[in-house]
Amino acid sequence: MPEVASQADIGWQDELWVGRTDGADPEWTQILGVETLDAPERAPDDVDVTHMQSPGRTRETIPGLLSAADWSQDLQFWPTHESQVMLDELAGLTEAGTEEHVLFEFNVGGIRRTYRGYVNRFTPSASVGEKRMVTLAAKIFNRVTPNPRTVQGGGG
């Protein structure tokens, strides 16, 4: 009998979705095993620039330049669940040097944000109590506005 996750198992309102795209419409998969979810930190850098024709020859800045962010998430580990098989496959592609860019949708407390990135690694770790855990690590690029996600099976 397959293991079934309840809302208590995966966090009350926090959800993580991965959208694989082969064109305009991503195919979305909810990632099970999320207990608490932290969206990636991508604070903009202010880059100093200078030019002799700047007003008063003072240094200027270019606000809002974003660098790629390293992001990781601990998950409960269900090795045969479709979402975790997919993450392991994506990590294998990256390890082979052909990373597949995907969409990560974070729903934290009802606020949804979607980013483009790729899975860096998917590494099972030691158990915590009776839970088996895995670490998902990704490289996150830009925030995007994808087509509205169509959810089947009653999810958010």
Does residue 61 lie in a domain region? Answer: yes
Instruction: Please list the alpha-helical segments (H only) found in the chain.
Output: 7-10, 82-95
Run of H or E residues at 51? none
Does residue 150 lie in a domain region? Answer: no
Q: Is the pLDDT of residue 37 over 50?
A: yes
Q: Considering the chain, what is the average pLDDT of its residues?
A: 79
Does residue 101 lie in a domain region? Answer: yes
Does residue 94 lie in a domain region? Answer: yes
CATH number at residue 59: 4.10.410
Amino acid at 88: D
Residue 154 has what pLDDT? 41
Does residue 77 lie in a domain region? Answer: yes
Q: Which domain holds residue 81?
A: 7-144
Residue 88 has what pLDDT? 94
Residue 149 has what pLDDT? 67
Does residue 104 lie in a domain region? Answer: yes
Strand pairing category for 102-108 and 69-76:
unpaired
Domains in the chain, number: 1
Across the range 25-42, mean pLDDT stands at: 84
Burial of 140 (0-12, 13-18, 19+ CB in 10 A): buried
Does residue 86 lie in a domain region? Answer: yes
Across the range 83-108, mean pLDDT stands at: 93
DSSP class of residue 143? E
Across the range 67-71, mean pLDDT stands at: 86
Does residue 102 lie in a domain region? Answer: yes
Question: For 83-95, what is each residue's pLDDT tens digit?
Answer: 999 999 999 999 9
